[in-house]
Every structure is written in C-alpha cells, then in structure tokens.
Amino acid sequence: MNFMKYDFMRNGFLAILLIAPLFGILGTMIVNNKLAFFSDALGHSAFTGVAIGVLLHIADTNLTMAVFAIIFALLLNAIKRKDSLSTDTIISVFSSFSTAIGLVILSLGGQFSKYSALLVGDILSISKKEIILLLLVFLATLLFWGFCFNRLEAASLNISLAKSKGVPVTTIESIFAVFIALIVMFSIKWVGILLINALLILPAASARNIAGNMREYHLFSILISLFSGLLGLVLSYFLNTATGPTIVIIASVFFFLTLLAKPLVKS
C-alpha cells in the first residue's frame, strides 16, 4: 500500500475509520426521527460559530462553534416542541438566519476567502491530537447509544406512548440534539459544511431500504458508511480529487443500488 507512506494519508485513514462508523450510527436515528433538516441547519450554523469566535477574539473557534451549535440545537428543539409552525419552516428560518449572520461577519473587510475552506473541508489535514479527540467523541456516542438507545427509539415511535411508559422524552431528545451538534461541529473542518449532511444521512437512508430490524439497520448503515469512506479516500488519492465529495458520490451510488434492491429484499 504505497499511498500509506504519507502521514496525511495515514491520519486521513484513521479519521475515516472513526468518522464513518460514527456517522453511520448517528444517521440511523437522525433519519428515523426525521431530523435531516435539523442536522443540515446545524452544519450551516458553523459559520456563525466561527464568526462569533472571530468577533470575540477567541483563538480556538472550535470552542465557539461547539457552544453556539449546542445553544442553537436546544433552542431549535424548544421551538419545535411548541409546534405552532411547521418544523421545516422553523428550521429553514433558523438555518438561513444563522448562515447569513455568519457570512456577514466573516466577510467584513473582504476576509471571507480565509474561511471558505470550511465549505468543502479537508480530511487529510486532520492532526493526531484531533484524531484522539474524535476517538473520545466516538466512545461517548457508543455509551449514549448503549444506555439510551431504547428510550430514543421509544420516543421516536410515539412520544405520548413513551411518556406514559416513563421515558424522559424531553431530556433524551435534548441529549441527542447536543450529540448531533457536537459531532457536526467537530467534523465540519474535515468534511465541510456543504457535504456533512450527505455523509450523515446517506448511509442510514441506504440501510433503511434493505433492513428489516434495528440490528440490520445499524449494521448496514455502519458498513456502507465505512466502505464509502475508505473507498472514497483511496479513489480521491489516485484520481487526485477532493476526498469528501468522492465519498459522497460513492454513498449516493449505494443509496440508488439499495433502492433498486429493495423490492427483492423485502418480498
């Protein structure tokens, strides 16, 4: 494996080994709970997070991004619960508003080109330290899944029924929203604002086409995510293309293949 002699390829490889299953797992419940718009809006709010960091002269914009995303996610959840407006309308308003604020601040004095890398991301720029952080986030997600998955699933099927069974629905949904917020913010530098949602949604959406229960759903989602990630990395090296978009193309092909296979599997 000739291309593995480069440090950035090795780090990129390790990062994908972590990000891909993480996205595969998280995506299952994002799709189940119809939160695709929500995670997309979170991605867009990254601009505002960075902008706030720049305004406040905080060197580590990761921190302001994460804090802003968590506030954004919880606020969105609270407004959603009031349900006087339709959810996708609310999310679109929030998303456009925060993107615009971020872009206005970052473009002050014609400085935007400095931040445009955020749009596409670069998985090969990940450092050892960031990989370790990613590993910690991955472990935290596994713990959350292990201890809270049934309650999350119960709430996603029917909120009233879950509440009657004593599931703390609001708490569980808030924790889940915070997890999505943190993971989106944490990976956006490597995956990019434009494509992060595709990587979260596509593996799970493909897995749903062919899975008959929760175990298959998770297994297929993780495998598709991992396979697309690794194949995308290798292909992008040989074709000299951007890694993120290459992965998304492969994952999309998986989606269409599973869609075609659906009538065969489910009959």
The site for another protein (CB under 8 A) is made up of 28, 32, 145-147, 149-151, 153-154, 156-165, 167, 207-209, 211-218, 262
Give the span between the Cα atoms of 115 and 215, in whole angstroms: 40
> Please, what is the minimum distance in Å from the beta carbon of residue 9 to another protein?
32
Nearer residue to another protein within complex by CB, 4 or 265? 265
Question: Where do runs of H (alpha helix) occur along 115-168?
Answer: 117-120, 128-157, 159-164
> Residue 15 or residue 202: which is nearer to another protein going by CB?
202
CA separation, residue 263 to residues 209, 240, 260 (Å): 9, 37, 7
- For residue 190 the two structure tokens come to 């490597």
Q: How far is the CB of 212 from another protein (least distance, A)?
A: 5
CB of 156 to another protein, least distance (A): 8
Q: Structure tokens of 26?
A: 């998280």
CB of 211 to another protein, least distance (A): 4
Helix 196-210 vs helix 169-191: crossing angle, to nearest 10: 120
Cβ 43 to another protein shortest distance, Å: 23
Based on the number of CB atoms within 10 Å of its own CB, is 110 exposed (0-12), middle (13-18) or buried (19 or more)?
A: exposed
72 neighbors 21 (Cβ within 8 angstroms): no
Six token digits for residue 90: 């609310």
- Of 119 and 214, which CB lies nearer to another protein in the complex structure? 214
Q: How far apart (Å, rounded) are the C-alpha atoms in residues 128 and 191?
A: 17
Cα dihedral value 206, 212, 218, 221, nearest 10: -10
With contact defined as beta carbons under 8 Å apart, do 49 and 34 qualify? Answer: no
Nearer to another protein by C-beta: 206 or 236? 206
**Shortest distance (Å) from residue 235 CB to another protein:** 29
Q: CB-wise, 249 or 257, nearer to another protein?
A: 257
Q: Which is nearer to another protein, 130 or 153 (CB)?
A: 153
Q: Taking the complex as a whole, how short is the minimal distance between the CB of residue 125 and another protein, in angstroms?
A: 32
| Nearest residue (CB) to another protein, 31 versus 69 | 31
